Structure 1
Amino acid sequence: MSTLSIRLPDSLHERLKQMAEKEGVSMNQFIALALSEKISALHTLDYLKERAARGERREFEAILSRVPDVEPEEQDRL
């Protein structure tokens, strides 16, 4: 495991402390989770952009044209 020192504005540090306490975790755990979520979001965005670049509009429209043009049925909510 690596150690990282960062400088934070006092207001951000206090907010971090409050949020970590609210979540019942250490500030270190909170930061690690927040960073993990951000990295995952960026990775997902890159993946979706790459997949979109490989797509063919013509093929998409051909598949979409096979979907019936009807209203969905109402479903009971639990």
Structure 2
Amino acid sequence: MSNVSSYPLRLPRSVKAAVEKLAKEEGVSLNQFVATAVAEKLTAMKTANFFAERKNRADFEAFRKILTREGGQPPRSGDELTTN
């Protein structure tokens, strides 16, 4: 890592022990394991936010019109549109 900062992290003993065990099994340092875990969590949260924002911009009426338009091939078995 080229731009590194330090942060004093306090973990419950049980969590630290579990992380140390997993890091050792993976062949990485405790620091690398924690840094990777934090990066993965950030990515997951950003991805969830991205899709939530996309959902808010979605035009579900246009989507339904496309799915129910005439012509084309019928949906495969199991891909039919259910009506509520």
Give the gaps of 5 or more residues in structure 1: 73-78
Q: Look up the match of 2:82.
A: none
Summarize the alignment of residues 17-32 of structure 1 with structure 2, pairs less than 5 Å apart: 17-32=20-35
- Structure 1 segments, 4+ long, off by >6 Å, are none
SS for the counterpart of 1:69 is coil
Q: Which residue of 2 aligns with 1:65?
A: 68
Structure 1 segment 1-78 matched on structure 2, within 5 A: 1-66=4-69, 68-71=74-77
Q: Which runs of 5+ in 2 are unaligned?
A: 79-84
User: How many percent of aligned residue pairs carry the same amino acid?
Assistant: 38
Q: CA deviation at 1:63?
A: 1.9
TM-score by length of 2: 0.78
Letter in 2 for 1:13: K
- Aligned partner letter, 1:38: K
Paired residues, what number?
Answer: 72
